[in-house]
Amino acid sequence: MKKIILLLLLITGVVTAQNKEYKHSLSGIKKVRFETNTKTKIIVGSSNSLVLKNYKHSHDDCDNCDHDGDHDNDHENTHWSNNHNKKIKTKEDKRKGLTAIYPGGKDNTNGFGFSVEKEGNVLIVRDLKSHFQRHGIQLELPKNINISVDTGNLGSVEVEGFTSEVEANTNVGKITMKDVTGPITAHSSVGAINIEFSKVSQSSPITISSSVSEIDIAIPASTKADLDIKTNGTVYTNFDIKIPTKKGMKNISGTKKIQSSINNGGVKIKLKSSMGNIYLRKK
């Protein structure tokens, strides 16, 4: 019976840690700028608030991560006491009565490890912990709020379900977006970029670039667009794209650049990869 009770207490503690979150009202906010150095997932929430949650990893994602995503795990002093000739293990949190301080700013998220500041109608959220201390974060935001996310050297970006302007920047990590409309601005130095549009906004240009990796874009077949595609790799598409020639002469330059229209033209879509292939698909 004692073993069952201890197991239930352990499970309850894990669930509580995994469900830890921080909320911030977005009243008067038109854009959220998020800066971190970890894997970031951004999904549509059910309220006009920013909700931060620790990313829930599978066992394959992180076998050695602690349950609340915080790797500052040297927080406990272990004591042993005797009770009826039995040793009882007790733990004391070494952080009790102390406040964490960070070189990047003050944590004003109730110990969640972020700095939140408002500049005009922009909410700036900075992760104060390092990549070694945090193993992923999830954001919930209204689907129509503009988003800018930068995951630094090691983080990746996953975005789903937004009808607003989205800017994403990574170095090594990949960028993945699903069910978005744009405008989209996305750049990754090394990571691959995969974006699936539910429809394509005609309000502002779309710019997607990668220094090394491939770019894979899916847009509705009826999308009106002016394409500007540049790569040293190969471009693959199932759109009917006509390549203009200059007085019958072929382009033999090193960099392949394609400028063409689909469905009589529309919003400008610029795709650029210095080395990777580019895939433009009909959805």
DSSP, residue by residue, 199-242: S--SSS-EEEEESSS-EEEEE-TT--EEEEEEESS-EEESS---
CB 22 within 8 A of CB 110: yes
Quick one: pLDDT band at residue 85, thresholds 50, 70, 90? low
Q: Shortest CA distance to 203 belongs to which of 224, 219, 220, 189?
A: 224
Stretch 26-40: mean pLDDT: 97
> How confident is the model at residue 256, as a pLDDT?
72
68-98 in b/e burial notation, b at 16+ Cβ within 10 A? bbbbeeeeeeeeeeeeeeeeeeeeeeeeeee
Instruction: Answer yes or no: is pLDDT of 70 > 80.
Output: no
> How confident is the model at residue 251, as a pLDDT?
47
Of the candidate ranges 41-55, 170-184, 236-250, the one whose mean pLDDT is the lowest: 236-250
CB 184 within 8 A of CB 177: yes
Of 258 and 3, more confident: 258
> How confident is the model at residue 14, as a pLDDT?
35
Q: Shortest CA distance to 271 belongs to which of 214, 232, 230, 224?
A: 230
3-class SS shares of the chain: helix, strand, coil, % to 5: 5, 45, 50
> How confident is the model at residue 180, as a pLDDT?
98
> How confident is the model at residue 92, as a pLDDT?
66
> How confident is the model at residue 21, as a pLDDT?
87
Rounded Cα–Cα distance for residues 186 and 107 (Å): 29
Q: Which residue has the tokens 């509580």?
A: 16
Instruction: Answer yes or no: is pLDDT of 143 > 50.
Output: yes
Q: In what order do the strands lie in the sheet with 146-150?
A: 114-119, 122-127, 31-35, 146-150, 166-170, 184-188, 206-210, 267-273, 225-231, 256-262
Of 268 and 105, more confident: 268
> How confident is the model at residue 56, as a pLDDT?
67
Of 73 and 12, more confident: 73
Model confidence pLDDT, tens digit, residues 115-139: 999 999 999 999 999 888 888 999 9
CB 39 within 8 A of CB 173: yes
> How confident is the model at residue 99, as a pLDDT?
80
Model confidence pLDDT, tens digit, residues 177-199: 999 999 999 999 999 999 999 99
CB 121 within 8 A of CB 5: no
CB 280 within 8 A of CB 215: no
Stretch 79-85: mean pLDDT: 57
> How confident is the model at residue 214, as a pLDDT?
96
> How confident is the model at residue 2, as a pLDDT?
47
CA dihedral 270, 222, 191, 228 (to 10 degrees): -20
Task: Delimit the domains of the chain by residue range.
Answer: 21-55+108-282
Q: Is 55 exposed, middle or buried (0-12, 13-18, 19+ CB in 10 A)?
A: buried
Of the candidate ranges 50-59, 80-89, 122-131, 192-201, the one whose mean pLDDT is the lowest: 80-89
CB 148 within 8 A of CB 130: no
Q: Is 12 exposed, middle or buried (0-12, 13-18, 19+ CB in 10 A)?
A: exposed
- Residue 20: how many CB atoms within 10 A of its CB? 16
> How confident is the model at residue 37, as a pLDDT?
94
Pairing of strands 278-282, 215-219: parallel
Question: Is the peptide bond preceding residue 183 cis, with omega within 30 degrees of 0?
Answer: yes
Model confidence pLDDT, tens digit, residues 6-21: 444 333 333 333 447 8
